Amino acid sequence: MAPRPQGARLAKSFKGFGARFSFVFFIILAIATLIASRFEPRLVDRAQSVLTDATAPILTVLNYPVRIASDIVSWSENLISMHRENTRLRAENEALKTWEAAGERLLLENERLRALLDLKEAKAQPVAAARVIGQSNGNYTRNVVINAGRNKGLKRDNTVVDSSGLIGRVTSVGALSSRVLLLTDLNSRVPVKVLPSEVNAILAGDNSDTPTLLFLPGGVTFNVGDWVVTTGHGGVFPPDIAIGRIAGLPEGMAPKVMLTTDYSRIDNVRVFNYDPPPAPPPAQRLDNDDLGASDTAAEAASVAAGTASPSTGSSGRSTSSADPNAAPASQATAPSPQSQVAPAVDQAEEDEANEVPAPPEQVTTPAPNGGFE
C-alpha cells in the first residue's frame, strides 16, 4: 500500500479539527445565547426575528415541493373516496326508486280508502313560534315558560314541539307568556303507541329524564329502540308525533323511554292548535214521550180489538162465547183508521129501557210522527 502524501494527511487533520471546533463553537454559542436572553431578552428577540426573516424565503422554496406532494396525495385520496361514495349513492338511489314507487302506490291506496270510509284528516294548525325564557326543574315540577301568550293566540292545551319532537302542552296562558307542562313532569299523562307493534299505552312522567310506559297489555314483546309516538286519543295531542325510543326494559318494572328532545337545551319551540275530527252523529232514537205514546196506542188498539171480537147473541147482549178457533184478543189485528164499532141493531125495546147505553167508542188513528193520537 502506497503511503499517503503529506497534503492528504494535513487535510484530514484539519477536517477533524474543524468538526471538533464546530461542536465546541455551537455549544459556546448556545450558552451565550441563553445568558443573553436572560439579561437582554429584547436583543435576542430582535436577532431571532432577523434570522427568521432571512431564512423564510429559503424555507418557502424548500417547502413548495413538499406542499405539492401533499396536495397530490390528498387529491388521490379524495378521488378514491369520491368513487366509493358514488358507487354507494348509485345503489342507494336504485333502492330509493323502488321505495318511491311503492310509496306512491300506498299513498294512492290510502287516499282511496280514506275517501271510501269518509275519514276526516286530523290537522294541527300552527299558532306561533316562541322562545323559552324560564325553566323549572324542581323536585316536584318540570315546566318551562315561553314568551307567547294571548297576544299570539295561544290557548290552554295547545301542543308544544321543537325540532326533535313533542315537548308538552300549554297549561296556563297569560297576556305575554305561557307555562308549558313537560312530558317528564309527574302530572303529565300522554296517550302513546309503540311502533312497530302498534300497542297503545300511557306515557307517565315521574320527574326524571326517562318517563315510563303504563297500562301495557300482557303478552306483547318490546325491543330497546322501538319508537314511541302519540296516538291522538283524547283530542289534546295530534297523532304520530315523535316522543322517543324505549331505552330500557327492566325486569318486573315499566319500560323507560328516552325522549328525543334534550330538555336541558330547549330554546325555540312551536305551538300548534289541534282540532280533532268531529265524532259521527249518534244513532237516532225515540225519546221517552214517543215511546210512551207508542205504548198507549198499542194498548188502545188491543182494547179495541178485544171489544169487536166477541159475537152478538140473539138477545142483543154481547157474550164472551167466541169461536174456539178464533185468535185471542192479544193477537187480533188493530182496526184501520176508518173502522168504528157499530151498535147492535136487533136489541129489544124492553132491554133498551133497562140497560144503560154505552158511550160511543173512540176512533184510533195513526199520528204523522209514527205514534198514535
3-state SS, residue 354: helix
The C-alpha cell that represents 367 in the structure block: 199520528
Ordered per-residue pLDDT tens for the chain, 373 residues: 555 555 555 555 655 656 667 777 778 878 887 787 777 778 777 877 887 888 888 888 888 888 898 889 999 999 999 999 999 999 999 999 989 989 999 999 988 887 887 766 667 889 999 999 998 877 778 899 999 999 999 999 999 999 899 999 999 999 999 999 999 999 999 999 999 888 999 999 999 999 999 998 888 888 999 999 999 888 899 998 999 999 988 888 889 999 999 988 889 999 999 988 776 666 555 455 544 544 554 554 454 444 444 444 433 443 334 444 444 443 434 444 444 434 444 444 555 545 545 544 444 444 443 333 3
Q: What is the DSSP string of 218-287?
A: TT----TT-EEEE--TTSSS-TT-EEEEEEE--TTSPPEEEESS-GGG--EEEEEEEEPPPPPPPPP---
C-alpha to C-alpha distance for 31 and 26, rounded to whole angstroms: 9
> Which helix (DSSP H) or strand (DSSP E) does residue 200 occupy?
strand 199-204
Distance of alpha carbon 199 from alpha carbon 201, whole angstroms: 7
pTM score, two decimals? 0.49
Amino acid at 296: T
- The interaxial angle of helices 6-39 and 41-117, nearest 10 deg, is 70
152 is written with which cell numbers?
Answer: 299570539
Helix (H, G, I), strand (E, B) or coil at 307: helix
Beta bridge partners of 132: 146
CB 181 within 8 A of CB 168: yes
